């Protein structure tokens, strides 16, 4: 595996067992990053780590529930011990589903917030002291175009991703003078395991279908497309970009 923009830089990456998280772990490792991959799906993490090592990269990781602070603190501590520090934090873990608001109970609301919003708070809280020790350290959070505007049948997910966006902006401003950047990538539809949970319910109003899909019918992103965007934001090439929301959606929001 060849070196590149992230040679000898350490990355802590959540949601690494599949989809965008897995693609990002592989992408960053391909450019020399030492990747500590975590997910609640431990078998998926082992698969991701094996993929990177088989390609000649450096990776380790394990199980972590980002909704639980103690789990995150232990995991980040292990990452720092493994690689000697931390340069980049990528929050790619996410959950959600499309459904009517009347069917959204408190347990589901808490689950969505626990992963999508509390998760980045937990990881940032645990990682910040380590990131601040490294020059050019940064955070990239995977938000969504659902955080930029309302979407019918998606209230919990929209709220969590909007919260993530402004949390990221606040962190970006607070730590800019100390050399830390924080940005979001906001994907549209991407073919991942999570996508199956966003199938429109029966009776979905046809007049708002166009609100979800790109101008060119059938256009869907691949995990590697978002991984490429994350790699750019995490790299020194994006040194002027801070507190931004990079939209990758084939023009849906436009």
pLDDT tens readout for residues 56-94: 999 999 999 999 999 999 999 999 999 999 999 999 999
Which one is catalytic: 153, 157, 211, 212?
Answer: 157
In the chain the domains, ranked by start, together with CATH numbers, are 10-248 (3.40.50.720)
Report the predicted TM-score, pTM, of the whole model to 2 decimal places.
Answer: 0.93
Q: Is 157 a catalytic residue?
A: yes
Q: Alpha-carbon distance 253 to 158, whole Å? A: 14
Lowest mean pLDDT among 142-146, 211-215, 240-244: 211-215
Mean pLDDT over each residue of the chain, to the nearest integer: 92
Q: How many other CB atoms are there within 10 angstroms of residue 16's CB atom?
A: 34
Q: How many helices (H) and strands (E) does the chain have?
A: 7, 7
CB 50 within 8 A of CB 39: no
- Helices marked H in the chain: 19-30, 42-54, 69-83, 106-116, 118-131, 155-175, 223-234
Q: Residue 171 has what pLDDT?
A: 98
**What three-state secondary structure class fits 141?**
strand
């Amino acid at each position: 595996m060849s070196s590149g923009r992230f040679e000898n830089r350490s990355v802590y990456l959540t949601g690494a067992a599949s989809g965008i998280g897995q693609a990002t772990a592989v992408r960053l490792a391909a450019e020399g990053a030492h990747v500590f991959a975590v997910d609640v799906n431990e078998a998926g993490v082992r698969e991701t780590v094996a993929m990177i090592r088989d390609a000649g990269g450096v990776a380790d990781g394990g199980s972590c529930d980002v909704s639980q602070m103690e789990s995150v603190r232990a995991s980040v501590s292990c990452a720092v011990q493994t690689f000697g520090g931390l340069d980049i934090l990528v929050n790619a873990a996410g959950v959600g589903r499309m459904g009517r608001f009347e069917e959204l109970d408190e347990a589901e609301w808490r689950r969505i917030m626990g992963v999508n919003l509390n998760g980045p708070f937990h990881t940032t809280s645990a990682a910040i002291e380590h990131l601040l020790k490294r020059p050019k350290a940064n955070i990239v959070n995977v938000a969504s175009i659902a955080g930029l505007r309302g979407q019918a049948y998606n209230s919990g997910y929209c709220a969590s991703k909007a919260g993530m966006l402004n949390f990221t902006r606040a962190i970006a401003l607070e730590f800019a003078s100390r050399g830390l950047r924080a940005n979001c990538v906001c994907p549209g539809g991407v073919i991942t395991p999570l996508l199956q949970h966003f199938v429109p319910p029966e009776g979905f109003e046809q007049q708002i279908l166009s609100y979800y899909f790109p101008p060119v019918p059938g256009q869907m992103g691949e995990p590697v497309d978002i991984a490429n965007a994350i790699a750019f934001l995490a790299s020194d090439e994006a040194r002027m970009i801070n507190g931004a929301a990079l939209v990758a959606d084939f023009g849906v929001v436009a």
